[in-house]
A and B are shown apart, each in its own frame.
Chain A
Amino acid sequence: MPERPQIVFAGTNGGAVTKIEDYEAAGGFAPLRKARAMAPDDVIAELEGSGLRGRGGAFFPTGRKWAFVPKPDQLAKPHYLVVNADESEPGTFKDREIMLRVPFRFLEGCLIAAHAIASQHVFVYIRGEYEEEFEMLRDSLEAMHAADLLGGVTVVLHRGAGAYICGEETALLESLEGKRGQPRTKPPFPAVAGLYAAPTAVNNVESITTVTSVLELGATEYAKLGVENSTGTRVFSLSGDVVNPGNYELPHGITLRELIYDVGGGVPGGRELKAIIPGGSSTSVLTGAEIDTPLDFTSLVQVGSSIGSAGVIVIDERCCMVQLGIRVSQFYEHESCGKCTPCRVGTRWLTQILQKIEGGRASQPDLDLLLSVCDRIMGKCLCPLGDSDAIAVLSYVDRFRDEYQAHIDLGRCPFDGESSLEGLLAPSAMHEHHRATAAASA
Chain B
Amino acid sequence: MQFRVSKLIAEIGRMRKQYPDSTSAVLPALRLAQEEHDGWLSPEALREVADALDLTPAYCVSIASFYDQFHLEPVGQTVVEVCTNVSCALAGAQQVVEAFEHELGIDAGSTSEDGAFTLGTIECLGGCGWATVVAIDNRHRLRVQADDVPAIVEELRGA
Contact = CB atoms under 8 A, between A and B. Distances in A.
A83 to B, nearest CB: 15
Contacts of B140: 129, 131-132
Contacts of A92: 126, 128
Interface string B60-79: 00110011111000000000
B94 interface: yes
Given A88-B126, A181-B66, A240 B87 contact: yes
Interface string A145-167: 00000000010101111111000
Contacts of A88: 123-124, 126
B73 to A, nearest CB: 12
Interface stretch (A48-56, A171-179, A342-350, A397-405): A171-179
B121 to A, nearest CB: 5
Residue from B24, B85, B129 whose CB has the most chain A CB atoms within 10 Å? B129
B85 A327 contact: yes
Nearest to B137: A131
B19 interface: yes
Interface in A221-275: 237-241, 245-247
A277 B126 CA distance: 16
Nearest to B84: A425
A79 interface: no
Contact of A240 (B70, B90, B94, B127): B90
A160 B67 CA distance: 8
A156 B19 contact: yes
Nearest to B109: A428
Contact of A428 (B19, B85, B120, B130): B120
A118 to B, nearest CB: 17
B123 A334 contact: yes
B122 A178 contact: no
A418 interface: no
Contact of A324 (B67, B86, B123, B131): B86
Contacts of B25: 178
B128 A160 contact: no
Contact of A131 (B27, B86, B87, B139): B139
A335 B20 contact: no
B60 to A, nearest CB: 10
A175 B128 CA distance: 25
Residue from A89, A132, A313, A424 whose CB has the most chain B CB atoms within 10 Å? A424
B43 to A, nearest CB: 19
Contacts of A93: 126-130
Interface in B20-38: 20-21, 23-28, 30-31
A154 to B, nearest CB: 8
A91 B129 CA distance: 8
A428 B79 CA distance: 13
Contacts of B18: 154, 156
A158 B19 CA distance: 10
Given A158-B27, A159-B31, A426 B126 contact: no
A421 B63 CA distance: 34
A342 B86 CA distance: 24
B31 A161 contact: yes
Interface of A: 78, 87-93, 95-96, 127-132, 154, 156, 158-164, 175-181, 196, 237-241, 245-247, 277, 281, 311, 313, 315, 319, 324, 327-328, 331, 334-335, 337, 420-429, 431-432
12 contacts: A88-B123, A88-B126, A158-B28, A178-B23, A178-B25, A179-B23, A246-B129, A313-B90, A331-B85, A337-B66, A429-B68, A429-B109
